[in-house]
Structure 1
């Protein structure tokens, strides 16, 4: 069962039961508030995650991710949580520009 560690949320661990769901859905199912201004449609970058370990365990990049990467709105170590599935263990963190004011982050 793949594991997600969200480093700047006090190393919160999530275990993936369904690899067919996107990362945003998995995060929300685990009661973690995560920004997604476009409703998880791949039309913005507010749900992006910075990948610290396990980039190879993400699904292939989607067309929206490729578009935003080309526009320099998505770095090489960033993925859109609404657009990717996870196939193995990963360590990620919330991008600084996408943090909520009401959540206490550990960095």
Structure 2
């Protein structure tokens, strides 16, 4: 039976089948949500907050818990959308503000511009560049290094 999931702060609703994960609902609504680890619960790119209906989701697994522990913006309402399966009704999901660095298509084009939103680290969710801050060449180098490190980490976890 299908369940309706509310997405905030964008005031949208998504219909999802029972036992499907929240990530599928986010992707079905054409939101730019990444799944860097392929939905295995190893990265922070699908980190969301559950503002209502935590009891309507599957329990947190050990792998998800380990990943949540390293996300700097994690709180008691945090879940990884790829791991949280919808079992009941009344789920309201709040999307974190910001964009993960690996969602930036052309990092070089950002030089000299102000960040339109926070740019986040893909593995731990920390803010790399704050919204409104000027993006400098040195920041771009750090962002590129972060992309490379995240790619290496995720490639290594795939092999393991």
TM-score (norm 1): 0.76
**Match for residue 50 of structure 1?**
49
TM-score (norm 2): 0.54
| Structure of greater Rg | 2
Contact 2:14 / 2:28 at 8 angstroms: preserved in 1? no
Superposition pairs for residues 1-107 of structure 1, below 5 Å?
A: 1-9=2-10, 11-16=11-16, 18-69=17-68, 71-73=69-71, 74-87=74-87, 88-98=89-99
Question: Any runs of at least 4 consecutive aligned residues in structure 1 with deviations exceeding 3 A, and if so which?
Answer: 97-101
Cα separation, partners in 2 of 1:35 and 1:8, compared to 1, 3 Å: farther
Q: CA RMSD in A?
A: 2.4
Q: Which has the higher helix share?
A: 2
Contact 1:35 / 1:98 at 8 angstroms: preserved in 2? no
Contact 2:41 / 2:67 at 8 angstroms: preserved in 1? no
Q: Which runs of 5+ in 1 are unaligned?
A: 102-107
Q: Which runs of 5+ in 2 are unaligned?
A: 105-160
Superposition deviation, residue 39 in structure 1:
2.4
* Number of residue pairs aligned between Structure 1 and Structure 2: 100
Higher relative contact order (CA 8 A, sep 6+): 1
